[in-house]
Chains A and B, each alone.
Chain A
Amino acid sequence: MSLRRRQLFKEWGLTAPSLLWLCLFFLLPTLIIFAISFKPSDPLGGVGEGWTLDTIVALRNPNYPEIIGRTLWMSVLTTVITLALSVPIAYHIARSKPWKRDLMLLLTVLPFWTSFLIRIFAWKAVLHPDGLLKKALVFCHLLSPDSLLLYRPGTVLMVMIYTELPFAILPLYAAVEKFDFGLIDAAMDLGAGKLRAYLSVFIPGIRSGLLSACLMVLIPCIGSYVIPDVVGGIDSMMIGNVIAQRTFVDRNLPHASALAAVLTMVMFLPLLYFLKGKKQEDGTATPAREVV
């Protein structure tokens, strides 16, 4: 009995600090944002007295479906392309000699040594109409002088993929590294061609890594705000930009909160699905990551 109690105490004692932290700085703020959604707005930019459903009604803005649709489309596209690029990269890294593997892992995380914002502005400099890249492309007749590299949905997509790549490569690397390549031998031994062997054995084998990478990319993408703001144009606005607009330009906190609440819900659903899949797999832990 005393052993069991000590065990319980140990478990709770160890979990309590992080649980408290999450409750105070994650759960509580989220609930506050949900609550503010049901408050009237204050002309001075604050939150008014009493409760109202006005903001929820105001969400039926005719522009929103398009923006939400674009946000989802861009995020899914980013996720798919990032994963498609990351699987071969992670495979290559995991199968390399130790020194080469370490070097490539270092190169993968190297961008983190520079601030995220600076990297995005660096892209802006690279793709700028007066930038070297455009001049070089025009010089080679690969681009007409009046076309734009910057401020287009494609630009946003590219920079988002660039930003998310390491977050997909790392969990995938961890999964590939643990994968038993004897299983590929076994599949080929039983008559499967290389492609079939990889699709039927390798991909299911790194499933937990794929799911982790998927979430690590998709969720920040849905909430992305800086990238479309800096390198995107009017036609690449995402829901994060609208929330920023409502907060800083319109100074309508309840409206911004309502949008943020919708965003949270949208992100919660794939997470739920993921956790369900995870329970069966009992795979790698997903490190938490802030949404930028």
Chain B
Amino acid sequence: MEDFLRFEGITKTYGSTVAVDNVTFSIRRGEIFSLLGPSGCGKTTLLRLLAGFEAPDSGRIILDGEDITDLSPNHRKVNTVFQNYALFPHMNVRDNIAYGLRVAKRPRAEINAEVDRMLNLIQMEAHARKKPGQISGGQKQRTAIARALIMRPRVLLLDEPLAALDLKLRQRMSLELSLIHDEVGITFMYVTHDQGEAMSLSDRIAVMNNGIIEQIGTPVEIYEAPKSSFVAAFIGDTNFFDGRICEEIDSEYCRISVPGLQHKLLCFNDKKLRRGDLVHLSIRPEKFQISLESPQVGPKHNVLQATVEDIIYQGDHTCYWVDIGNDWRISLIRQHSRFMLDEHPINWKNQVYISWLADDGFMLERYSEADEELLQAPPQSVGEIEVEEESDPTGVSEGGA
């Protein structure tokens, strides 16, 4: 159950570039497992290795107890939905879907019945006689899925299947994909660079960077408990604080002294670090509270004074960039779960208090300064930005990622 599909010490190099570097992980039966990472991180290489289009330099791939490393693609019980769909342009939708079964020389009646079932599943009966050039992107997508699913693969590989679709269609197809998954119960391995897709679809996500897996976990684990600065910065947005532990309060909490900050940050010490240890803290923008008056908070809170440098109103929430001293900008988000129009608004250059619960700062295991590049940069020409006061509900809320 646990090790339905296992990659063991897989390494793959192209010339002098290491695409996948000694990667080991397992996928469970029936789950939607995503490989998420920026382009060139090795996720597509892993998919091509599993499909059999590439052979690893070293390592084994075990599928349901069987070593499939040396099998050619046509002998593997896995099928792929390609990024550009790779539908056969000279065949109509029906023939495309039937291709695999025809190659397998199944009886004609059985092929017809299976294809009809698939056409029904993807609701493409009306377009069965059309060539790929005559159908829309979403329909091509569904055809490609049906063409792979009809082979009843042990694992269905999806290579950025939604990347070629526009936003609305992407959201709908993403929902359809999870419906199809529930219906057929096949293990999905899903490759994407879109964190929104990965978060909404997956049971588990492997975040990849530079040929290695940075972290494997459920979407919640990946977001709330990132192990490395890369994961923290690549998934969503965050703020980094680097410092040393200056005081161990008890077995659970410690204080961190951060260069450039007067306040010694109170932090939950889940990594059991000792006094003097280097700490890299990640705090997500939505964990902060912002207020004009000094907040009434408990002893487990940190409170900093700051100056508002930028306000980006997004309808359901507002993003603030605040200066916590020495031109150090951090980003924070305030949800408008309750919003009163007569409330005293926070304006540009206001002195504010920001506070957060010590438990909401998360200690990273690995930190690389380069990952700060992934974060949203503070706006440059702050002086010229006008703050939109009028509420615009149709708005500007960004979808997904």
Task: Write the residues of chain A forming the contact surface with B, with a CB cutoff of 8 angstroms.
Answer: 180, 182-183, 185-193, 196-197, 200-201, 204-205, 207
Q: Does B68 contact A (CB under 8 A)?
A: no
For chain B, give the interface size range: 20 to 34
| CB-based contact B88/A201 at 8 Å | yes
A-side contacts of B86, CB under 8 Å: 180, 182-183, 185-186
Q: Does B79 contact A (CB under 8 A)?
A: yes
Within 8 A of A (CB), among B69-116: 72-74, 78-80, 82, 84, 86-90, 99-100, 103-104
Also in contact, A190 and B90, with CB within 8 A (given A182-B84, A185-B53, A185-B73): no
Also in contact, A190 and B72, with CB within 8 A (given A185-B82, A207-B90): no
A-side contacts of B319, CB under 8 Å: none
Measured CB to CB, the closest approach of chain A to B149, in angstroms, equals 11
| CB-based contact A190/B151 at 8 Å | yes
- Residue from A185, A196, A204, A207 in contact with B103 in the complex, judged by beta carbons closer than 8 Å: A196
Measured CB to CB, the closest approach of chain A to B311, in angstroms, equals 47
Number of A-B contacts (CB under 8 A): 64
B-side contacts of A188, CB under 8 Å: 52-53, 72-74
Within 8 A of A (CB), among B57-74: 72-74
| CB-based contact A190/B82 at 8 Å | no
A-side contacts of B72, CB under 8 Å: 188
10 CB contacts below 8 A, A to B, read A180-B84, A185-B51, A188-B72, A188-B74, A189-B74, A189-B148, A190-B100, A190-B147, A191-B104, A204-B88
A183 and B96 CA atoms in complex are apart in Å by: 11
Q: Which of A190, A191, A192 has the largest number of chain B CB atoms within 10 A?
A: A190
B-side contacts of A187, CB under 8 Å: 88, 99, 103
Measured CB to CB, the closest approach of chain A to B46, in angstroms, equals 15
A188 and B53 CA atoms in complex are apart in Å by: 9
- Residue from A180, A183, A191, A200 in contact with B151 in the complex, judged by beta carbons closer than 8 Å: A191
B-side contacts of A186, CB under 8 Å: 80, 82, 86-88
| CB-based contact B80/A189 at 8 Å | yes
A192 and B52 CA atoms in complex are apart in Å by: 13
A279 and B354 CA atoms in complex are apart in Å by: 69
B-side contacts of A200, CB under 8 Å: 88, 99, 103
Looking across the interface, which residue of chain A has its beta carbon closest to that of B153? A189
Looking across the interface, which residue of chain B has its beta carbon closest to that of A201? B88
Within 8 A of A (CB), among B20-70: 51-53
A204 and B148 CA atoms in complex are apart in Å by: 21
* 5 shortest interchain CB distances as A-B pairs: A190-B100, A186-B86, A204-B90, A188-B73, A182-B86
6 more A-B contacts (CB under 8 A) besides A182-B84, A191-B151?
A188-B53, A189-B73, A189-B74, A189-B78, A191-B104, A207-B90
A256 and B89 CA atoms in complex are apart in Å by: 47
Measured CB to CB, the closest approach of chain A to B333, in angstroms, equals 41
| CB-based contact A190/B99 at 8 Å | yes
- Residue from A180, A189, A205 in contact with B51 in the complex, judged by beta carbons closer than 8 Å: A189
B-side contacts of A192, CB under 8 Å: 74, 99, 103
| CB-based contact B88/A183 at 8 Å | yes
A200 and B90 CA atoms in complex are apart in Å by: 10
A182 and B87 CA atoms in complex are apart in Å by: 9
A205 and B89 CA atoms in complex are apart in Å by: 8
Looking across the interface, which residue of chain B has its beta carbon closest to that of A196? B103
A-side contacts of B74, CB under 8 Å: 188-193, 197
Looking across the interface, which residue of chain A has its beta carbon closest to that of B75? A191
Q: Which of A186, A192, A197, A200 has the largest number of chain B CB atoms within 10 A?
A: A186
A204 and B92 CA atoms in complex are apart in Å by: 13
| CB-based contact B82/A182 at 8 Å | yes
B-side contacts of A197, CB under 8 Å: 74
A193 and B73 CA atoms in complex are apart in Å by: 9
Looking across the interface, which residue of chain A has its beta carbon closest to that of B104? A191
B-side contacts of A180, CB under 8 Å: 84, 86
A-side contacts of B104, CB under 8 Å: 191
A192 and B99 CA atoms in complex are apart in Å by: 9
